[in-house]
Amino acid sequence: MYVAGCDVGSLSAKAVIMKDGEIVASQVINSKPDPNESAQAVMEKALQKANLTLDDIAYCVSTGYGRESVPFAKSAYSEIVCHGKGANWKMPSVRMVVDIGGQDAKAIRIDDKGNIAQYAYNDRCASGTGRFIEVMASAMDVPLEKMGEISAQSTNPISISNQCVVFAETEIVSLINAGKALPDIVAGLHKALANRVAGLARGIKLETDVTMTGGVAKNPGMLAALEEALGVRFVKSELDPQIMGALGAALLAFEHASKVN
Amino acid sequence: MITAGCDIGSLTTKAVILNNTRVLAFAVAKSHYDPIVGVTEVMNKVLKSAGVEMKDIGFCVGTGYGRERIPFAQKAVSEISCHAKGAQWLMPSVRTIIDVGGQDCKAMHVDAKGNIEKFVTNDKCASGTGRFLEVMAKLIGVELEELGQLAEQARNPIQLSAVCTAWSQAEVVTKLNLKYSKADIAAGINNAMASRVAILAKAAGVEKDVCMTGGVAKNIGVLRAMEEQLGVPMRRLRVDPQIVGALGAAVIAKESIGGAK
């Protein structure tokens, strides 16, 4: 029996197809303006990879901010539930999941079955979400995916004094004009975001093991900064951390499908 | 007795020359990246238009960013005290003063003698400061000064749901794409601005009479929205609201000479 999970985020859409507890295909694409289109496009690509059609999927669960716009999903779950499920399935020792998304950040404490014990969430203030790094990368004219690489060359990270995205943007423009080294600025930005997100995690009591999910987890600079801010080493798996939400959705789809049959 | 006050803001620098009860001259100029160079230029300009020389100034008080380093000022006083003093000198009945600057916002509650009973400030978040309007004006392609007038033509103001400036930017882009008129968008921006400032004003305590100082007080749309939100009239001051801090500094300068009041 094939099941699928589809995670439509603000910046990227993800799909995971599973068969009998194994991942058979996964896909990540950049989001399109219309979440419905994003969902169709990412699922089509994942199905192609698995050599399947939509008819082969017994059950699909959607998640992410566009979860209500996924036409082929039979039910929708919050990202918080899905990230917890996905992380627990792949890394059973994990008790805390930190997810930095394009427009939000979450810290989720889970039990040994992947159920949510407590969570904290920020989507009110862009600072403390992936948008912070995105805005700064664009202000510095650096591709977002290069930020990690650049920060690795830093010898002396600059402390960024403004928290607000708008004020921090002005601050880094002045830092660049003052001739400060780009790697030091980038490393400083990672540190600033890490501290914001660490505050969120501490608010619900930090518990080990911790893992980081979401696209921002692919940025090694951000990962290291967050490890430092939390004082822990993250548990990692060979899976793309960006598909964790879609994976959790697929696992929930399996639970639903099993009940139905 | 001639005294002077200067106020170095994030966007503009202001100076006022006072002769007892009469404002002889005032000047407003864009702030210089070196605040001391900027304030010296503005001071020379205002002296010239008042027809006096530096040696004629009995006492000078500085306020704002870099106030401690103004070479020709004998005293540095906080902006809170200066705005409260300036507003009350102009309007003795004033009890609540709301100052919205280029990148901060302050609300002060004063007693009948002009003593500050309570004040609340925000300089951490761009939302609710002049910067919010600046970012939005640029986004919709109008001059900052036009926002107030433009909103007068609004028929159906848009609603902005986010507080964060970064998220509001995305919302406004969506509204532009949906072909909402600039007037309706401008009105929505002014309303959003007013609702954030109103929260701060309420925290300080709103008591009649209420007035607004700082550059944003020139925006009629924000003033009207504030009146609606707070349910009190915004009393108009008889001078440019932008110079109230510098005026207050000049009044404090007058009081500083031999205790003369």
**Residue B65 pLDDT level (bands cut at 50, 70, 90):** confident
Task: Please give the Cα distance from B248 to B253 (Å, whole number).
Answer: 8
Given strand A210-213, what is the order of strands in its sheet? A116-122, A105-110, A96-100, A210-213
Q: Residue B146 and residue B222: Cα distance in Å, rounded?
A: 12
Percent of chain A at pLDDT above 90?
93
Q: How many CB atoms lie within 10 A of CB A84?
A: 30
Four-residue CA torsion sign, B210, B214, B215, B216: negative
Instruction: Note the pLDDT tens digit of each residue in B10-27.
Output: 889 999 999 998 999 999
Q: Report pLDDT for A220.
A: 93
Residue A261 has pLDDT above 60, yes or no: no
Q: Nearest-CA residue of chain B relative to A104?
A: B167
Note whether B162 contacts A: Cβ–Cβ < 8 A: yes
Helix, coil or strand: residue A203: helix
Q: What percent of chain B has pLDDT over 90?
A: 88
What is the nearest CA distance from A122 to chain B, expressed in angstroms?
A: 12
**Given B125, B162, B167, which is nearest A164 (Cβ)?**
B125
Those residues with Cβ within 8 angstroms of residue A141's Cβ, 6 or more apart along the chain or in another chain: none
A163 contacts on B by Cβ (under 8 Å): 124-125
Residue B240 has pLDDT above 70, yes or no: yes
- Among B105, B122, B125, the strongest candidate for a mutation testing the A interface, having the largest count of A CBs within 10 A, is B125
Same fold, B1-91+240-261 and B94-236: yes
The pTM is what? 0.87
**Model confidence over A114-162: pLDDT tens digits?**
999 999 999 999 999 999 999 999 999 999 989 999 999 999 999 999 9
pLDDT digits (tens, 9 = 90+) for B190-238: 999 999 999 999 999 999 999 999 989 999 999 999 999 999 999 999 9
Tell me, what's the pLDDT at B69?
A: 87
The domain covering B94-236 belongs, at the CATH homologous superfamily level, to ATPase, nucleotide binding domain (3.30.420.40)
Predicted local confidence at residue A89, as pLDDT: 96
A127 chain-B contacts, CB cut-off 8 A: 166
Domain ranges of chain B: 1-91+240-261, 94-236
Quick: pLDDT tens for A165-215: 999 999 999 999 999 999 999 999 999 999 999 999 999 999 999 999 988
Residue B261 has pLDDT above 70, yes or no: no
pLDDT band at A11 (very low <50, low <70, confident <90, very high): confident
Tell how far CA B255 is from the center of its chain: 23
User: Which residues 131-150 on chain B approach chain A with CB closer than 8 angstroms?
Assistant: 131-132, 135
How does residue A42 score in pLDDT terms, banded at 50, 70 and 90? Answer: very high
CB contact under 8 A, A103 and B131: no
State yes or no: pLDDT of B66 exceeds 90: no
Domains and CATH numbers, chain A: 1-91+240-261 (3.30.420.40), 93-236 (3.30.420.40)
Class of the CATH domain delimited by B1-91+240-261: alpha beta
Distance (Å) of CA A59 to CA A81, A133, A218, A221, A244? 17, 36, 29, 37, 18
Q: Is the dihedral of CA A3, A8, A9, A13 positive or negative?
A: positive
A9 secondary structure, DSSP code: -
**Contacts with A125 from chain B: Cβ below 8 Å:** 125, 163-164
Predicted local confidence at residue A47, as pLDDT: 97
- Look at residue A67 and tell me whether its pLDDT is greater than 70: yes
Taking CB atoms and an 8 Å limit, are B126 and A167 in contact across chains? yes
Q: How confident is the model at residue A238 (pLDDT cuts 50, 70, 90)?
A: very high
Reported as a pLDDT band with limits 50, 70 and 90, residue B260 is very low
Mutate to test the interface with A, among B124, B164, B193 (most CBs of A within 10 A): B164
Closest residue in A to B161 (Cα–Cα): A124
What is the 3-state secondary structure of A139-183? Answer: HHCCCHHHHHHHHCCCCCCCCCCCCCHHHHHHHHHHHHHCCCCHH
Give this complex's ipTM: 0.86
pLDDT at A208: 92
CA-nearest residue of chain A to B122?
A164
How confident is the model at residue A260, as a pLDDT? 65
